[in-house]
């Protein structure tokens, strides 16, 4: 048999057979005078065994080990390991399909475009609170979506604890809307506008009402806020800065 016949017999490509030779997983058969590899039944049986192992999910390295050890008691181990791995993959796929179904549902409902892939929790929150269409609210939406994607679990959890409480109380929501209205009025204001200070106080009180635990991680520094103020008008940014200072001051010596 030549390589093409062997490969066709087992349903693989000739490249695969040569690759197995290269990897030492299938012994090289003798060559004919013209240099062609000449295969016999032993090779076909060996290749079949390799293929069965690979199709069970073994890597080529694992298959080589199983074949090399005649006394290979490792096979059940390896198989159990592969099964555990497949089980994990199966769970992951199910989780991802569930998320996909949610997103797909929302995509067909056809609402909020750039936030359509956010977490269900956040989408639910955004739907409930109906932030106004102002630029300041858009900034806050971006911030929320960012927190939603953030890696650090404690920050995320703290944020969503607050959001749940806000969403649950209509009076709180209307206070939030008032805050946005007043923040919007500062769009063209100077950074020393007198309306800034009271609004910052309102923000601090409003937030502290819900953040009973430490709202900031231990390595918090004010300049970490700066990159996220991009997109706000100077006076608006100043409100956030001062509000954060209030909160840090009020909580630091806990």
Residues that bind a copy of itself (CB under 8 A): 1, 8-12, 39-42, 44-45, 48-49, 51-53, 56-57, 75-76, 79-80, 82-83, 86-87, 89-90, 93-94, 96-97, 99-101, 103-104, 107-108, 114, 116-118, 142-143, 145-146, 148-152, 227-231
Look at residue 42 and give the partner it binds from DNA, a copy of itself, none, a contact being a CB closer than 5 to 8 Å depending on partner kind.
Answer: a copy of itself
Tokens encoding 161? 């604890």
Please say which residue, 69 or 178, places its beta carbon nearer to a copy of itself.
69
Angstrom distance (rounded) from CA 79 to CA 101: 32
Nearest approach, Cβ of 174 to a copy of itself (angstroms)? 27
Look at residue 76 and give the partner it binds from a copy of itself, DNA, none, a contact being a CB closer than 5 to 8 Å depending on partner kind.
Answer: a copy of itself
Nearest approach, Cβ of 210 to a copy of itself (angstroms)? 23
CB 50 within 8 A of CB 14: no
Q: Is the dihedral of CA 68, 73, 77, 82 positive or negative?
A: positive
Look at residue 229 and give the partner it binds from DNA, a copy of itself, none, a contact being a CB closer than 5 to 8 Å depending on partner kind.
Answer: a copy of itself
Please say which residue, 171 or 223, places its beta carbon nearer to a copy of itself.
223
Nearest approach, Cβ of 149 to a copy of itself (angstroms)? 4
Angstrom distance (rounded) from CA 143 to CA 162: 14
Angstrom distance (rounded) from CA 52 to CA 47: 9
Q: Is 37 helix (H, G, I), strand (E, B) or coil?
A: strand
Q: Is the dihedral of CA 156, 162, 166, 172 positive or negative?
A: negative
CB 3 within 8 A of CB 18: yes
Nearest approach, Cβ of 192 to a copy of itself (angstroms)? 24
């Amino acid at each position: 048999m030549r390589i093409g016949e062997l490969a066709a017999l087992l349903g693989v490509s000739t490249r695969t057979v040569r690759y197995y030779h290269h990897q030492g997983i299938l012994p090289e058969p003798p060559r004919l005078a013209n240099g062609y590899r000449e295969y016999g039944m032993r090779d076909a049986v060996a290749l079949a065994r390799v293929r069965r192992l690979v199709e069970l999910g073994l890597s080529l390295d694992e298959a080589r080990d199983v074949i090399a050890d005649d006394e290979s008691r490792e096979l059940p181990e390896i198989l159990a390991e592969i099964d555990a791995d497949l089980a994990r993959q199966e769970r992951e796929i199910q989780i991802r399909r569930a998320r996909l179904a949610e997103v797909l549902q929302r995509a067909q409902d056809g609402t909020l475009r750039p936030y359509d892939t956010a977490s269900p929790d956040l989408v639910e929150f955004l739907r409930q609170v109906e932030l106004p269409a102002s630029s300041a609210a858009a900034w806050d939406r971006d911030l929320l979506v960012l927190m939603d994607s953030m890696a650090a679990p404690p920050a995320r959890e703290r944020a969503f604890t607050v959001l749940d409480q806000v969403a649950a109380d209509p009076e709180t929501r209307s206070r939030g809307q008032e805050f946005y209205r007043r923040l919007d009025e500062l769009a063209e204001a100077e950074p020393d506008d007198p309306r800034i200070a009271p609004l910052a106080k309102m923000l601090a009180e409003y937030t502290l009402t819900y953040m009973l635990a430490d709202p900031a991680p231990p390595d918090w520094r004010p300049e970490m806020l700066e990159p996220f103020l991009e997109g706000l008008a100077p006076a608006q940014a100043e409100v956030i800065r001062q509000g954060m200072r209030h909160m840090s001051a009020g909580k630091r010596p806990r």
